[in-house]
Chains A and B, each alone.
Chain A
Amino acid sequence: MEINSEKKGNCLSISAKGRLDTVASREFMKWTDNNLGEDIKDVVLDCSDLTYISSSGLRVLMTIYKTITPRQGTLSLKDLTPQVGEVLNITGMASLFNIE
């Protein structure tokens, strides 16, 4: 999986390409630990090239969500692909995030 990011003020924009499966989620979690600094309030995840998300991927999203929510921040997911959208729906998680 390929991760690109850009930080503007207290907003971190991330673009994830490929499959967010168990192995990639471990890598993404590590990346998140290193890049989700205390100054980050809002996170925007561009999902247009994210073709698959597993339970491990959902756990990473929940970690980001639970980190920024106490900071009054939001996690926005942009351009969901059908598989990712469906997984978020059936787990009840779609209602937690801003979906653009």
Chain B
Amino acid sequence: MEVKDYGLDLHCTMILEEYRSLKPVFEKMKEIVLDECRKIISDTGLFVATIEARVKKEDSLAGKLELKGSKYRTINDVTDILGARVVTFYSEEVDKVASLMEKYFDVDWQESVDKRKLHALDSFGYDSLHYICRIPEKLYSDPSMPELNTLRFEIQMRTTLQHTWATIYHDIGYKSGVEVPKEYIRNLNRLAGMLEMADEQFSIIRSTITDYRRKVQALVESGKFEEVELNGDTFRSYLELDPFGSLTRKIALINQAEIQKTSSIPYLKVLKGLGFNTLADIEKLRKDYSDDAYQLALSQLGGTDIDIIASSVALHDLLTVFILRNGGGEKGLEMLYNALNGPSSYNNKRAKQVYKTASTLSFMEAQE
């Protein structure tokens, strides 16, 4: 293969030669580092945006050596020949990823920099955390490639917003080779400040929502339903307690029916529409109307050989009884079906049919 001449001095040419001979080692290191990063991040349950790695191209290294080759004694001083990057969604996850990297790789602390902390108080920039590492022998070793454990590589850890800023800054301010007017750089730096605030806000919003969910879950679990406002989150937590399970099983016993597990979440909009504001309101529905709902189910299923029901049938029958006992009549039932299935002419027929069956039941005499 033809070796390209970059017109470098002897010292830099020797470093480039080292690079050429060690390229297969760097490629192997890339494979190990990528596999390990993916594994340890996934094992921890962290959800990150990107995990990637690349081995620096020869042209790119030659350019770097031309600019600052005298800085390096050997190839091992060029620490970004292999560069890996982990991009996270939240800023606090950068530190979580960093602690994982510290645990699994040998970090060269003298060379590693937290660029996030380098900026002076009156300047902006939105950089990442960079670790210079080695692959420890306990993680991977191959006697035919001893350099696997001596060569260093760089891991950048940053948020998606940091990554966006750094990529654009690199593209505009550095890679183009043209000197960019200061006012444009100033605008980029102002943007960095804004993105830093956005990252902070994303983290604050996430932790606030997490706190809220924990609090709600604790209230639901402790049965303090009157303090819990009805919404998607709280209704889900409430359903996890299987509040309608007992009534569903009782209905299933009418015909020894199989219970098909189905979601009751679509009933949330109906509950809200009927004025249920807290979980205590649903508890009241369950306590006050369960006997009547069972009576309705018995009148419908008893005498048939239907031996399969949906697990949402209990809540459905409870709401049917609630509407009827509160004077909603056929119109109220039709509105229930419209809300659940979307409007259709069938809903009117269905409402009439259910109303006719329910009219013969004792709870209809006690309409509220």
Contacts and interface: CB of A to CB of B under 8 A. Distances in A.
The size class of the interface chain B forms with chain A is 20 to 34
Interface residues of A, number: 22
A95 B350 contact: no
A62 B349 contact: no
A97 B300 CA distance: 20
Interface string A71-100: 000000000101001110111111111111
Contacts of B297: 90
Given A55-B305, A100-B346, A91 B313 contact: yes
B300 A58 contact: no
B204 to A, nearest CB: 32
B340 A95 contact: yes
A62 B340 CA distance: 17
Interface of B: 257, 260, 262, 266, 297, 300-301, 304-314, 316-317, 337, 340-342, 344, 346-347, 349-350, 353-354
Question: Which of A58, A82, A91, A94 has its CB near the most chain B CB atoms (within 10 A)?
Answer: A91
Contacts of A82: 353
Contacts of A26: none
A91 B306 contact: yes
A86 B353 contact: yes
19 contacts: A58-B308, A62-B308, A85-B349, A87-B306, A89-B300, A89-B350, A90-B301, A90-B306, A91-B308, A91-B313, A92-B262, A92-B309, A92-B313, A93-B310, A95-B266, A95-B310, A95-B312, A95-B337, A99-B350
